[in-house]
């Protein structure tokens, strides 16, 4: 049993190291310019595709773009003069990495907020062991849920830990379809499990 725990923790450390390395490879820089414009520069994983979404404070999409050719550097001057005054969020997604910045348009000026980066959690199921690791960059409340036939059978509040590492022994469960769900703030990440 101790050997299994050591292997699990070694696996988790490798997953976290790989995730930390990848997290430094997606950046969204935004510099306010005159006349309701902003220079946006995105550095992404080499040869990666990404999409850009701008949403208003109601969560409605006001702009969406996918890059047609994989690139590692993107820059463009955006003209926000057509947008109403208010709060907006620019989000860039590349593979399992997401970075975003809020910006405020008010009285013909753009004010840019801090960059927030998130990475989708890693889930793995092998030898009756469900493993989950997640880096909580946004310092949100995290919880792990486990469902059988849409009924919650396990719940653990993890809190605002940065480095989340969880393992569940599923060896006593019968055959069937299950679902693990990691919640972080208002985000949900789902992982289906089939036990045969």
* The CATH number of the domain covering residues in 21-118: 2.60.40.1930
Query: Residue ranges per domain, the chain?
Result: 21-118, 121-195
Domain 121-195 is found in CATH 2.40.50.100: no
- Pull the structure tokens for residue 27: 């950046």
Distance (Å, whole) CA 166 – CA 143: 10
User: For position 138, what pLDDT does the model report?
Assistant: 84
Would the pTM of this model clear 0.85, i.e. be above it?
A: no
Domains 21-118 and 121-195 fall in the same CATH topology: yes
Distance (Å, whole) CA 54 – CA 70: 20
User: For position 16, what pLDDT does the model report?
Assistant: 38
**How many angstroms separate the Cα of 67 from the Cα of each of 26, 54, 86, 194?**
14, 15, 27, 36
Question: pLDDT-based confidence at 189, cuts 50/70/90?
Answer: very high
Tens-digit pLDDT profile for residues 69-114: 888 888 999 999 999 999 999 999 888 788 999 999 999 899 999 9
User: For position 130, what pLDDT does the model report?
Assistant: 94
């Amino acid at each position: 049993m101790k050997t299994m725990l050591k292997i699990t923790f070694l696996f988790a450390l490798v997953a976290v190291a790989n995730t930390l390395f990848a997290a430094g490879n997606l950046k969204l820089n935004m510099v306010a310019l005159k006349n309701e414009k902003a220079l946006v520069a995105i550095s992404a994983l080499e040869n990666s595709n990404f999409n850009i979404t701008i949403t208003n404070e109601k969560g409605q999409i006001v702009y969406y773009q996918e890059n047609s050719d994989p690139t590692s550097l993107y820059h463009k001057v955006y003209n926000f003069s057509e947008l109403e005054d208010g709060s907006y969020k620019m989000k860039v997604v590349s593979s399992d990495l997401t970075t975003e910045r809020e910006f405020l348009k008010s009285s013909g000026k753009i004010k840019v907020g801090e960059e927030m980066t998130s990475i989708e959690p890693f889930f793995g199921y092998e030898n009756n062991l469900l493993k989950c690791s997640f880096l909580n960059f946004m310092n949100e409340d995290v919880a792990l849920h486990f469902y059988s036939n849409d009924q919650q059978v396990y719940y653990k509040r993890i809190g605002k830990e940065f480095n989340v590492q969880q393992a569940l022994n599923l060896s006593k469960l019968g055959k069937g379809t299950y679902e693990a769900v990691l919640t972080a703030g208002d985000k949900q990440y789902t992982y289906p499990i089939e036990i045969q």
